[in-house]
């Protein structure tokens, strides 16, 4: 299944690379309004994660842009995930503001050879100094059984013996949840290495275990238009098997007529705000799954009687009635 996931993602990348951006003028390819990107990233903590993300501009009506977003990731070769989504963004020049919405379908192959699907939706508001994001995740695949065990308990009381059999299932369960964050772009660094700090909250619900929720924080520094440093911290380490990540992302702008290119960045100059129309979508691209441990699936009881019932002797027939005899007039004895 994992190979099929990556083959599907490779085909999507090929189609994306051959797709036009809605413009046929070659001069438009170098325009800051053509913000398609291929992003390659790696980050690590107690586990390592690798990602490839492509953002393809598909339609540009006026000050808006519709993107196709394709993404593939792997976590230490244990789990692979592919994501496909549509991203719509609208730019306002005064004040400088970008509002966006997105919808995704996520597919994950886990280390237990289970496959889970999920639908996600998000909103974002980007400005020169403040960014706001919120995302919701809804699994469309039920939990999968990982293991089964059985427990038998026998109790005796008086003449009865009760046997209780309980069967337990261990599940791999996808979690429904949401997250949100707010970020501040630090003044004074926008000319050299735009840097933002973010704080947020996440909540994921389980049907079998207590919910997972907590605070998170991250920092993002765009050291170069083609290179981004990021670090992230989570209050809970159970969801990621680590409570922190540190990594880099290489951003390669798409020129659909001349291939990929590196941005030429002149130090001391602020990049135009509208170039953020091509920012990578920031959401939790991983379907969150947990291993539940044994959960009682069903229980049966049987009751046995320990003592055999006492055998009663058959009832005796009543004795015959005494004969009724008397002397008749002739002096004879008559009985009846």
Report the domain count for the chain. 1
pLDDT in tens, 291-309: 888 888 878 888 877 765 5
Quote the strand ranges of the chain, DSSP E. Answer: 37-44, 48-59, 64-75, 79-92, 97-109, 115-127, 130-139, 144-157, 160-174, 176-185, 195-205, 212-224, 227-234, 244-255, 259-260, 289-305, 325-327, 333-335
pLDDT band at 35 (very low <50, low <70, confident <90, very high): low
Is 147 contained in some domain? yes
Does residue 205 carry a pLDDT above 90?
Answer: yes
Per the prediction, the chain carries an average pLDDT of 82
Q: Report if residue 266 sits inside a domain.
A: yes
Look at residue 324 and tell me if it is in a domain.
no
Is 202 domain-assigned? yes
Among 90-94, 150-154, 166-170, the minimum mean pLDDT is found in 150-154
Predicted confidence (pLDDT) at residue 271 exceeds the cutoff of 60 = yes
Q: Does the residue 321 lie in any domain?
A: no
**CA-based R_g, the chain, Å:** 37
Asked if the structure places residue 128 within a domain, the reply is yes
Place of tokens 């001349």: 258
Domain that holds residue 288: 2-295
What percent of the chain clears pLDDT 70, i.e. is strictly above it?
A: 77
| pTM confidence score | 0.78
Q: Quick one: pLDDT at residue 29?
A: 36
Please write the tens of the pLDDT for every residue from 180-198.
Answer: 999 999 998 988 899 999 9
CATH number of the domain residue 224 falls in: 2.40.160.160
Q: Please tell me the predicted confidence (pLDDT) of residue 297.
A: 82
Residue 320 in any domain: the answer is no
- For the ranges 24-28, 97-101, 232-236, which has the lowest average pLDDT? 24-28
279 is a domain residue: yes
């Amino acid at each position: 299944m994992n190979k099929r996931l990556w083959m599907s993602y490779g085909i999507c990348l090929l189609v994306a690379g051959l797709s036009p951006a809605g413009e046929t003028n070659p001069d438009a390819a170098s325009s800051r309004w053509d913000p398609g990107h291929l992003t390659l990233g790696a980050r690590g903590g107690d586990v390592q994660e690798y990602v490839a993300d492509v953002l393809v501009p598909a339609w540009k009506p006026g000050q808006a842009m519709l993107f196709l977003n394709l993404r593939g990731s792997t976590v230490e070769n244990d789990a692979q995930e592919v994501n496909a989504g549509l991203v719509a963004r609208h730019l306002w020049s005064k004040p400088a503001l970008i509002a966006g919405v997105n919808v995704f379908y996520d597919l994950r192959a886990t280390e237990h050879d289970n496959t889970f699907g999920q639908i996600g939706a998000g909103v974002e508001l980007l400005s020169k100094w403040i960014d706001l994001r919120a995302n919701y995740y809804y699994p469309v695949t039920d939990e999968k059984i990982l293991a089964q065990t059985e427990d038998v308990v026998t109790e005796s009381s008086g003449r009865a013996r009760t046997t209780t059999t309980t069967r337990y299932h261990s599940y791999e369960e996808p979690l429904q949840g949401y997250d949100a964050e707010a970020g501040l772009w630090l003044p004074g660094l926008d000319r050299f290495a735009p840097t933002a700090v973010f704080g947020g909250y996440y909540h994921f619900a389980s049907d079998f275990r207590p919910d997972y929720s907590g605070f998170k924080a991250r920092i993002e520094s765009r050291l170069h238009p083609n290179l981004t440093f990021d670090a992230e911290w989570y209050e809970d380490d159970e969801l990621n098997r680590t409570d922190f990540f540190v990594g880099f992302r290489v951003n390669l702008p798409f020129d659909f007529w001349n291939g990929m290119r590196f941005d030429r960045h002149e130090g001391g100059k602020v990049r135009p705000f509208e170039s953020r129309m091509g920012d990578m979508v920031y959401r939790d691209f991983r379907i969150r799954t947990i291993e539940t441990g044994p959960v009682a699936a069903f229980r049966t009881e049987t009751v046995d009687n320990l003592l055999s019932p006492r055998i009663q002797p058959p009832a005796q027939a009543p004795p015959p009635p005494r004969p009724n005899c008397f002397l008749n007039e002739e002096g004879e004895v008559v009985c009846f």
